[in-house]
Amino acid sequence: MSAVISARGLTKRYGKRVAVDGIDFEIAAGRIVGLIGPNGSGKTTTLKAALGLITFEGELSVLDLDPRTQRDELMKDVCFIADVAILPRWLRVKDAVDFVAGVHPRFDRSKAERYIAHTKLTPTMKVKEMSKGMIVQLHLALVMAIDARLLVLDEPTLGLDIIYRKQFYQNLLEDYFDEHKTIVITTHQVEEVEHILTDLLFIRDGKIALAASMDEIGERYVEVMVAGDKVAAARALQPIDERTVFGKSVMLFDALRAGGLSRTQLAALGEVRNPSVADLFVATMKGTYA
Amino acid sequence: MTTPMSTMKWLIRRELWEHKGAFFWAPLIVAAVLVLLFGGGFLYAIIANPSFHVQVKGEEVLAVNGLPPAVLAKLAAAAASSYLVITAPLFFVLPVVVFFYCMAALYDDRRDRSILFWKSLPMSDAQTVLSKVATALLVAPLATMAIGFAASLILLVIGLLGGAIKGINLIAPVLANVDFYLAPVYLLSFLPLYILWALPTVGWLLLVSSWAKSRVFLWAVGAPLVALAILAWFDFLAGRFAGVSMNVKWFGEEIVARVLLGVFPGIWFGEVDGAALAQQQAGLDGPLLLGTSYATLGTPGVWIAAAAGCAMIYGAIRLRRWRDEG
C-alpha cells in the first residue's frame, strides 16, 4: 500500500509570498503525525492543500487521489477539523447528529451519542447557547464518530480545558485510532500530544525542517544534563542547543550531525535522557523569531 | 444508505433548520394576520350590523328574502374562483424572503467559518449550491402556496358560514363550482413559470453571495444600479454631443430588472397586454391568467435570462469550490 499523503515539490504562493516552498514528504498508513511549526510557517496551508480547499503547484496525492480534481471522492474517506472552523450558531445538537448520520456513510451515530453523553450538551441545545469548549466538544464528538481513513486535526483542542483535552487524546488513541487509520495533528500544545505521536514533521518558513519517526528521534537526539566540570568538553561536541536549568547546563545533541556520537560517550558528560518534542522544536526553530 | 438524493434531502432540511423563521414563520404570521383581519372583520360586521348590505354597482340589492338568483350565482362564482386572491400579501412576502435568503445562502457560512465544517463532510459544492437553489425556487414558493391555500380556505369557510347565517347561503353553489377545486391547481401551475422568471435573480444573488468578501447587498443591488446609472449618463452625453443613442431602456429591462426583480411572482405581467385581462368578470379566470402568463415564454428574453441564471449558478458552484477561506 502506498503512502496516505505523498507530496513532491508542493508549493503554494499567495501573490509574491511563498507559503509552502516546494516541500516533499510522505505519510504512511497507520501513523499519528505531528505537523509542528510556528505561526505562519505553512502548516495550515499544507493541510488545506491536502484537503482540496486551495489550489497549489507541484504534486500531492492523498489516498491516491488528487485533492484538486477528486475532492468529492476524497471526502468520503477523509475528515478534518480546521483550526478556525466553527459550527453554525443555529445548529442543534440532535440536528447536527441527524445531519452527519444522513450524509456520511461512515458515521456511527451511537458512538457520537456516547461522546455527547459525557458532556453537558443536551439534544435540543443550539450552538449559540454553548460555551466555546462545548462547541469544540460537539465538533469532536461528530468527527470522532466518523470512521475516516485519514483524520486531519488542525488545532483541535483550542478552547478546551485541560481535563477534556487529556480525555480527548486518550479517546483518540484508544477508541479511534487503529492500524488502518492515519491522523495528522497540528497543535501548539506539543507536550500534550507527544506521547501519542508516531512521527514528527517540523515545518519552518514553508520548508520541512525535520521529518522522522519518534523512534528515530529517540535514537538521534540526546539531551544531557552536563556536570559542572564537563561543560567545556560538552560544548566541544557541538550541541545544537544549550539552556540552563537550576544552574545546570542542559545540552541537546544530534547524534548524526556530530558524526557518530554514541550514548555512552555522552553519558560520560552527565545524565542522559530523551529530549521532549517541545525542546527539540525550540532547538530546531532557533532563530525563527529572531 | 447515503445516496445523492438522500444527501440532497438532508441539505434542504438543513436550509429549513437555518431559515425556519423566513420560510414558515413569516408567511404563517402574515397569513394569521390576514385571517384575523378579514375573517375577524367580517364576523364583526355580521354581528354588529343586524341588516346586511350587499352593493352591486352602487345599488343595494339585498332584500330580506335574500339575493336574486343571478346575483347569488355571480357571487358564488366569484368566491369559488378568487378565494385565493385574498392571500396576495403572502406573495409579496415570498420574494423578499427569497431575495434575502439567496444573498445570505453562500455568504453566512463563509463569514462565520462554518463552511469548513460543511466542507469536511462528503457532499460536493454542486450539491450544496443546488440545495439552496431548490430551497429558493421550490420549497419557499410551495410553502407559501400551502400556507396561502390554508388561510384562504379558512377565510372562505368564515365567509360562507357568515353569509349563511345572514341568509345568503353560498355553500352549495361554491362547492358545486369546479373553479373552487381548480383554483389551487391553477396556482400550482404558475410554479414552473415562476422558476423560469426567478432563475436569473436567484443565479445572480447566489453568485454575489458566493463571491463577495463582505457587503453582499451593496454588491448585489448596487452593482447593477450603478451600471445602469453610468450607462444612462454616458447615453445622455453621447446623445447630446455625438448624436448617438444607446438602448439604456433595454439594459434596464432586460438585465437589471431580470437580475433584481425576477423573484417577484407575476413579474411577467409586465410583458402582458393588460386589455385581455381587464375583461374578466365574476372573479378570476384561471385559464386566461395562466394562458397569458405562459404566453410570455414565446419571447426569447426569458429563456436567455434563465440560461444566464443557470450559468451564474454554475459560477457560484465554482467559486464555492475554490474560494480560499483562510
Chain B residues within 8 Å of chain A (Cβ atoms): 1-2, 6-7, 9-11, 13-14, 17-18, 108-109, 112-114, 116-117, 119-124, 321-322, 324-326
Give me the phi and psi of A270, to 5 degrees please. Answer: 160, -160
What is the pLDDT, as a whole number, of residue B209?
95
Interface test with A, best of B11, B111, B120, B127 (most A CBs within 10 A): B120
CB A88 within 8 A of CB A127: yes
Local structure of A212: helix, strand or coil: strand
Shortest Cα distance, chain B CAs vs residue A258, angstroms: 41
The verdict on a CB contact (< 8 Å) between B116 and A143 is: no
What is the separation of C-alpha B195 from the centre of its chain, rounded to a whole number of angstroms? Answer: 10
* pLDDT confidence tier of residue A53, bands split at 50, 70 and 90: very high
pLDDT at A258 over 70: no
All residues of chain A having their beta carbon less than 8 Å from the beta carbon of residue B114 are 85-88
A1 has pLDDT over 90: no
- The pLDDT score that the predictor gives to residue B133 is 97
- B16: its cell numbers: 429549513
Q: What is the pLDDT of residues A32-52, one digit of tens each?
A: 999 998 888 899 999 999 999
Interface of A with B (CB under 8 A): 48, 51, 53-55, 71-72, 75-76, 79-82, 84-92, 95, 98-100, 102-105, 139, 143
Average confidence score pLDDT of chain A: 88
Tens of pLDDT, residue by residue over A161-190, are 888 888 888 888 888 888 889 999 998 888
For residue B10, list chain A residues with Cβ-Cβ distance below 8 A: 98-99, 102-103
Cell numbers describing residue B131: 440545495
Q: How far is the C-alpha of B256 from the C-alpha of B222, rounded, in Å? A: 10
Three-class SS state of A80? strand
Averaged over successive runs of 10 residues, the pLDDT of chain B (326 residues) comes to: 88 95 93 90 77 54 60 81 85 94 94 91 94 96 94 89 80 84 90 94 96 92 91 85 78 85 86 67 74 86 92 96 78
Does A102 contact B9 at a Cβ distance shorter than 8 Å? yes
What's the complex ipTM? Answer: 0.89
**Shortest Cα distance, chain A CAs vs residue B29, angstroms:** 21
Task: Please say if the pLDDT value at position A290 is more than 50.
Answer: no
Chain A residues with CB inside 8 Å of B108's CB? 88
Q: How does DSSP classify residue A197?
A: -
What's the pLDDT at B314?
97
Instruction: State which residue of chain B sits closest to A73, comparing Cα positions.
Output: B122
Is A199 in a helix, a strand, or coil? Answer: strand
Which of A88, A100, A104 faces B114 most closely, judged by CB atoms?
A: A88
Secondary structure (H, E, C), chain B: CCCHHHHHHHHHHHHHHHCHHHHHHHHHHHHHHHHHHHHHHHHHHHHHCCCCCCEECCEECCECCECCHHHHHHHHHHHHHHHHHHHCCHHHHHHHHHHHHHHHHCCHHHHCCCHHHHCCCCCCHHHHHHHHHHHHHHHHHHHHHHHHHHHHHHHHHHHHHHHHHCCCCCHHHHHHCHHHHHHHHHHHHHHHHHHHHHHHHHHHHHHHHHHCCCCHHHHHHHHHHHHHHHHHHHHHHHHHHCCCCCCHHHHHHHHHHHHHHCCCCCHHHHHCCHHHHHCCCCCCCHHHHHHHHHHHHHCHHHHHHHHHHHHHHHHHHHHHHHCCCC
Cβ neighbors of B125 (< 8 A, separation 6 or more) are: B317, B320, B321
Q: What is the pLDDT of residue B283?
A: 63
Q: What is the pLDDT of residue A159?
A: 77
Q: What gap in Å lies between CA B207 and CA A243, rounded to an integer?
A: 57
For residue B276, what pLDDT is reported? 63
Write down the pTM of the prediction: 0.89
- At residue B43, the pLDDT reads 83
* Residue pLDDT, tens place only, A4-34: 999 999 999 998 899 999 999 999 999 999 9
Please tell me the predicted confidence (pLDDT) of residue B64.
Answer: 45
